[in-house]
Amino acid sequence: MNALDVNFVTLTECLVSSGYRLDMGGINVPGIHYNLSGKGRFIVGNEPPIDIVPHTLIIVPLMSSFRIEVAGKNPSLPLITVDGRAQAKGQTISGGTIRRFVAGDEESPEVLLICGVFRTSYGSATDLFANLTGPIVEQFDSADMLDTRLEMALKELIAQEVGAKAMSAALMKQVIVALLRRSLSSLNVWVERFSILSDSKITRAFADMAARPGANHTSDSLAQTACMSRSAFFARFTELIGRSPMDILRDLRLRQAAQQLTATKLTIEQIAGNSGYGSRSSFVRAFRKAYGNGPNEYRAEAQKKNRSGRAEGAEASELPDSSAS
């Protein structure tokens, strides 16, 4: 972890009262969001809602919009939507260096999150979180003391004493390290990206696979990238990840294909080629085995969900914004 470099741009507070929804736009760096108190829902783009409770940590991919919702006492009433992007600079806390975004009553929010934007690199590698296509969600607890570290980072930025930025960055690094440690035992799908950080040679090969999943990778070429013999590379990679390099490469390729199916209008043949498959038929077989549906069915289902999400958002936007009264 000595080679881990963490930089962050800013920290904010997001406060949401019962019966409100706070909409926030995406920016060009990943975001970190930690729920200090209360229960609600956190929704990233068109992803399924994430139930949040105290100590839920969420990493949001760059350029991803998100919203925080808290159900009202009367579930039949629609939520009141507040556009956080319209709160140009938010509401500043004393000292003027921390922004606060509020949906509802600032004095009695149901949910309070500390949010930040950051960059994390390992050695000479690119940003570890830059290529995320979906949110990372992990549940911590009070014993992990992530809330304490984030609150201390906030206080440092508010106080603006000598070394405040360095101290805040050090505290943020502790939070990211806790997340990376969790990757060693978590069963969530994002862990392959971090569980190899202890071995720089395997990290180099894995980084190449993750950055260019559609390239003509082989066990021999990946071993050369790692500067290892083929047998040593295969054994070490499998020991660290628990699966063979070509199994992981297949998953990376199909995950890229799924993202392109939902986010682009590329043909199935183009997506197959981008994902390293020589024929449409072999790609369709592999995709169906991994996701249960063929590429066309997967795309149609994603488009249906997107239309449903847009319709729900349009309906909510037609409601009067009673927070302005």
Q: How confident is the model at residue 78 (pLDDT cuts 50, 70, 90)?
A: very high
Per-residue pLDDT averaged across 252-271, rounded?
90
The DSSP bridge partners found for residue 241 are none
Tell me what pLDDT residue 297 has.
94
Residue 277 CB: number of other CB atoms within 10 A?
22
pLDDT over threshold 80, residue 285: yes
Question: Of 83-97, 172-186, 279-293, 303-317, which one has max mean pLDDT?
Answer: 279-293
Residue 198 vs residues 3, 20, 176, 183, 212: alpha-carbon distances, Å: 10, 43, 15, 12, 22
pLDDT over threshold 80, residue 252: yes
Q: Which of 23-27, 85-89, 265-269 has the lowest mean pLDDT?
A: 85-89
Tell me what the pLDDT averaged over the chain comes to. Answer: 81
Q: How confident is the model at residue 81 (pLDDT cuts 50, 70, 90)?
A: very high
Tell me what pLDDT residue 305 has.
76
Tell me what pLDDT residue 315 has.
45
d(CA 120, CA 8): 8
d(CA 303, CA 258): 12
The pTM of the full predicted model, rounded to 2 decimals, is 0.59
Burial 200-239 (b: 16+ CB within 10 A, else e): ebbbbbbbbbbeebbeebebeebbebbebeeeebbebbee
Q: Which of 11-20, 201-210, 229-238, 278-287 has the lowest mean pLDDT?
A: 201-210
